[in-house]
């Protein structure tokens, strides 16, 4: 597996996967181009030359945010999601993130397992929903939880 910065030719694959995995988000080519233009870091995973998944994250001051991570169904079970998550945490940390935040669907046990292994903890900030779907907010204290 290879992780690469996305290019304009990857946008349609990302839009399609994002729409399937995050139906509550506005997944459009324009949205991803705008996010990139405004500092978001978008990377793809390739397996044998095929698009396997992506991660979308950004840094705001000393806080990192993972806005989306998805793996195509045919590539699941190959640790691609874990590798993309570790990549995002390392990239954010190297750029100064002290804490990293994300939202994960409460019923997405596979994603929660990945994040919890990396040291993310539920913030316990109460009931949150996105488009009526329950989500959990997770936080990683980079210095204490990831690099300890």
Domains and CATH numbers, the chain: 2-146 (3.40.630.30)
Q: Which residues contact 106 (CB under 8 A, 6 or more apart)?
A: 133, 134, 135, 136
In angstroms, rounded to a whole number, what is the distance separating the alpha carbons of residues 30 and 94? Answer: 28
In angstroms, rounded to a whole number, what is the distance separating the alpha carbons of residues 92 and 100? Answer: 8
Do the Cβ atoms of 68 and 55 come closer than 8 Å? yes
Given this model, what pLDDT does residue 146 score? Answer: 64
Tens of pLDDT, residue by residue over 90-99, are 999 999 999 9
Given this model, what pLDDT does residue 126 score? Answer: 66
Size of the chain, expressed as the number of residues it contains: 148
User: What's the pTM value of the predicted model, to 2 decimals?
Assistant: 0.90
In angstroms, rounded to a whole number, what is the distance separating the alpha carbons of residues 17 and 106? Answer: 20
Given this model, what pLDDT does residue 94 score? Answer: 94
In angstroms, rounded to a whole number, what is the distance separating the alpha carbons of residues 1 and 49? Answer: 9
**Residues in the chain, pLDDT under 70:** 125-126, 145-148
- Provide the CA 18 distance to its chain's centre, in angstroms: 11
């Amino acid at each position: 597996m290879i992780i690469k910065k996305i290019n304009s030719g990857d946008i349609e694959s990302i839009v399609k996967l994002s729409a399937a995995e995050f139906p509550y988000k506005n997944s459009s080519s324009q949205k991803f181009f705008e996010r990139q233009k405004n500092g978001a870091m978008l990377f793809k995973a390739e397996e044998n030359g095929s698009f396997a998944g992506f991660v979308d994250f950004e840094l705001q001051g000393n806080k990192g945010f993972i806005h989306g991570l998805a793996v195509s169904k045919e590539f699941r079970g190959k640790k691609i999601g874990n590798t993309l998550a570790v990549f995002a945490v390392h990239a954010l940390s190297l750029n100064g993130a002290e804490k990293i935040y994300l939202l994960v669907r409460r019923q997405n046990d596979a994603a929660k397992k990945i994040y919890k292994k990396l040291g993310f903890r539920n913030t316990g900030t109460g009931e949150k929903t996105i488009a009526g779907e329950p989500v959990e907010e997770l936080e990683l204290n980079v210095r204490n939880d990831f690099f300890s």
